[in-house]
Chains A and B, each alone.
Chain A
Amino acid sequence: MTTQHNAMNQNDSLLRFMTCGSVDDGKSTLIGRLLFDTKTILADTLTQITNTSKKRGMEAVDLSLLTDGLQAEREQGITIDVAYRYFSTGTRKYIIADAPGHEQYTRNMVTAASTANLAIILIDARKGVLTQTRRHSYLAHLVGIPHIVVAVNKMDLVNFDQAVYDKICADYLAFATEIGLHRAGHDISFIPMSALTGDMIVDRGDAMPWYTGPTMLETLEAAPPAHSEHLEPFRFPVQFVCRPHASDNPELHDFRGFMGRIESGEIAVGDAVTVLPNGYQSKVKAIQIGEEQLQSATTEQSVTLLLEDEIDTSRGDMIVKSAEAQEPVKQIEAFVCWLSETPMSTARTYVVRHTTRESKAKVGTILYKIDVNTLEEQPSQGLQMNDIARITFKLAQPLMIDSYCVNRATGAFILIDESTNNTVGAGMIV
Chain B
Amino acid sequence: MINKKSLSHLDWLESEAIYILREVAGQCSNPVLLFSGGKDSLCILRLAEKAFRPGKFPFPLMHIDTGHNYKEVIDFRDQRAAELGERLIVRSVEDSIKRGTVVLKTPDEPRNKHQSVTLLEAIEEFGFDCCIGGARRDEEKARAKERIMSFRDEFGQWDPKNQRPELWNLYNARTHKGENIRAFPISNWTEMDVWQYIEREKLELPSIYFAHQRDIVMRGGAIFPVNVPLSNGETINNPKAGEDVINMQVRFRTVGDITCTAPVISDADDVSKIVLETATTTITERGATRLDDQTSDASMEQRKKEGYF
| Contact across chains for A353 and B283 when beta carbons are under 8 A apart | no
Asked if A11 is at the interface of the complex by the 8 Å CB criterion, the answer is yes
Asked if A54 is at the interface of the complex by the 8 Å CB criterion, the answer is no
Q: B49 — which chain A residues lie within 8 A by C-beta? A: 290
Give chain B interface residues in 67-114, CB to chain A under 8 Å: none
| Contact across chains for B172 and A353 when beta carbons are under 8 A apart | yes
| Contact across chains for B9 and A93 when beta carbons are under 8 A apart | yes
| Contact across chains for B8 and A10 when beta carbons are under 8 A apart | yes
Chain B: CB-nearest residue to A185:
B1
| Contact across chains for B9 and A71 when beta carbons are under 8 A apart | no
Partner of A242, one of B9, B54, B199, B301: B54
Asked if A186 is at the interface of the complex by the 8 Å CB criterion, the answer is no
Asked if A81 is at the interface of the complex by the 8 Å CB criterion, the answer is yes
Q: B170 — which chain A residues lie within 8 A by C-beta? A: 353-355, 412-414
User: Could you tell me the distance in whole angstroms from the C-beta of A23 to the nearest C-beta in chain B?
Assistant: 16
Q: A4-B279, A10-B200, A13-B8 given as contacts; is B165 within 8 A of A111 (CB)?
A: yes
Asked if A298 is at the interface of the complex by the 8 Å CB criterion, the answer is yes
Encode contact with B along A1-40: 1 for CB under 8 Å, 0 otherwise. Answer: 1111111101111100000000000000000000000000
Asked if A82 is at the interface of the complex by the 8 Å CB criterion, the answer is yes
Encode contact with B along A339-381: 1 for CB under 8 Å, 0 otherwise. Answer: 1000000000000011110000000000000000000000000
Chain B: CB-nearest residue to A115:
B168
| Contact across chains for B53 and A291 when beta carbons are under 8 A apart | yes
Asked if A252 is at the interface of the complex by the 8 Å CB criterion, the answer is yes
Partner of B172, one of A13, A257, A414: A414
Chain B: CB-nearest residue to A291:
B53
Asked if B237 is at the interface of the complex by the 8 Å CB criterion, the answer is no
**Separation of A1 and B176 alpha carbons in the complex (Å):** 51
| Contact across chains for A243 and B196 when beta carbons are under 8 A apart | no
Asked if A229 is at the interface of the complex by the 8 Å CB criterion, the answer is yes
| Contact across chains for B50 and A290 when beta carbons are under 8 A apart | yes
**Separation of A251 and B56 alpha carbons in the complex (Å):** 15
Q: A242-B54, A413-B170, A421-B175 given as contacts; is B22 within 8 A of A230 (CB)?
A: no
Asked if A331 is at the interface of the complex by the 8 Å CB criterion, the answer is no
User: Could you tell me the distance in whole angstroms from the C-beta of A408 to the nearest C-beta in chain B?
Assistant: 7
| Contact across chains for A242 and B52 when beta carbons are under 8 A apart | yes
Chain A: CB-nearest residue to B5:
A298
Partner of A42, one of B13, B19, B56, B281: B281
Q: A84-B137, A242-B52, A412-B167 given as contacts; is B282 within 8 A of A14 (CB)?
A: no
Q: B175 — which chain A residues lie within 8 A by C-beta? A: 421
Encode contact with A along B1-39: 1 for CB under 8 Å, 0 otherwise. Answer: 111111111111111101100110110000000000000
Asked if A176 is at the interface of the complex by the 8 Å CB criterion, the answer is no
| Contact across chains for A68 and B141 when beta carbons are under 8 A apart | yes
Asked if A114 is at the interface of the complex by the 8 Å CB criterion, the answer is yes
Give chain A interface residues in 402-418, CB to chain B under 8 Å: 408-409, 412-414, 416
**Separation of A10 and B7 alpha carbons in the complex (Å):** 11
Chain B: CB-nearest residue to A80:
B161
User: Could you tell me the distance in whole angstroms from the C-beta of A259 to the nearest C-beta in chain B?
Assistant: 6
| Contact across chains for A13 and B6 when beta carbons are under 8 A apart | yes
Asked if B231 is at the interface of the complex by the 8 Å CB criterion, the answer is no
Asked if A240 is at the interface of the complex by the 8 Å CB criterion, the answer is yes
Asked if A285 is at the interface of the complex by the 8 Å CB criterion, the answer is no
Partner of A86, one of B137, B287, B288: B137
User: Could you tell me the distance in whole angstroms from the C-beta of A25 to the nearest C-beta in chain B?
Assistant: 20
Partner of A14, one of B9, B166, B168, B287: B9
Q: How large is the interface on A (under 10, 10 to 19, 20 to 34, 35 or more residues)?
A: 35 or more
**Separation of A252 and B52 alpha carbons in the complex (Å):** 13
Asked if A58 is at the interface of the complex by the 8 Å CB criterion, the answer is no
Q: A224 — which chain B residues lie within 8 A by C-beta? A: 1
| Contact across chains for A302 and B56 when beta carbons are under 8 A apart | no
Chain B: CB-nearest residue to A261:
B19
Q: B144 — which chain A residues lie within 8 A by C-beta? A: 69, 83-85
User: Could you tell me the distance in whole angstroms from the C-beta of A366 to the nearest C-beta in chain B?
Assistant: 21
Asked if A300 is at the interface of the complex by the 8 Å CB criterion, the answer is yes
Chain B: CB-nearest residue to A246:
B56
| Contact across chains for B283 and A300 when beta carbons are under 8 A apart | no
| Contact across chains for B165 and A426 when beta carbons are under 8 A apart | yes
Asked if A192 is at the interface of the complex by the 8 Å CB criterion, the answer is no
Asked if A301 is at the interface of the complex by the 8 Å CB criterion, the answer is yes
Asked if A204 is at the interface of the complex by the 8 Å CB criterion, the answer is no
Encode contact with A along B168-185: 1 for CB under 8 Å, 0 otherwise. Answer: 111010111000000000
| Contact across chains for B167 and A111 when beta carbons are under 8 A apart | yes
| Contact across chains for A3 and B282 when beta carbons are under 8 A apart | yes
Partner of A356, one of B4, B26, B56: B26
**Separation of A239 and B27 alpha carbons in the complex (Å):** 9
Chain A: CB-nearest residue to B281:
A42
Q: A43 — which chain B residues lie within 8 A by C-beta? A: 282-283
Asked if A159 is at the interface of the complex by the 8 Å CB criterion, the answer is no
Q: A274 — which chain B residues lie within 8 A by C-beta? A: none
| Contact across chains for B279 and A69 when beta carbons are under 8 A apart | no
Q: B51 — which chain A residues lie within 8 A by C-beta? A: 259, 290, 302
| Contact across chains for A10 and B196 when beta carbons are under 8 A apart | yes
Asked if A130 is at the interface of the complex by the 8 Å CB criterion, the answer is no
| Contact across chains for B9 and A12 when beta carbons are under 8 A apart | yes
| Contact across chains for A416 and B22 when beta carbons are under 8 A apart | no
User: Could you tell me the distance in whole angstroms from the C-beta of B191 to the nearest C-beta in chain A?
Assistant: 10
User: Could you tell me the distance in whole angstroms from the C-beta of B296 to the nearest C-beta in chain A?
Assistant: 9
Give chain B interface residues in 139-190, CB to chain A under 8 Å: 141-142, 144-145, 160-161, 163-170, 172, 174-176, 187-188, 190
User: Could you tell me the distance in whole angstroms from the C-beta of A20 to the nearest C-beta in chain B?
Assistant: 16
- Taking A45-B284, A302-B22, A423-B166 as known contacts, 18 extra A-B pairs with beta carbons closer than 8 A to each other, sorted by chain A number, are A2-B282, A4-B279, A7-B279, A42-B287, A45-B287, A71-B302, A81-B160, A239-B25, A242-B54, A247-B56, A249-B54, A261-B18, A302-B50, A409-B168, A421-B175, A421-B176, A423-B164, A423-B165
Interface positions of B (Cβ within 8 A of A): 1-16, 18-19, 22-23, 25-26, 49-56, 58, 137-138, 141-142, 144-145, 160-161, 163-170, 172, 174-176, 187-188, 190, 192-193, 196, 199-200, 275-276, 279-284, 287-288, 297-298, 301-302
A-B contact pairs, 6 of them (CB 8 A): A12-B8, A114-B168, A244-B54, A302-B50, A339-B165, A416-B174
- 9 smallest CB-CB distances across A and B, nearest first, come from A44-B287, A290-B50, A302-B18, A421-B174, A93-B9, A114-B167, A14-B9, A43-B282, A71-B298
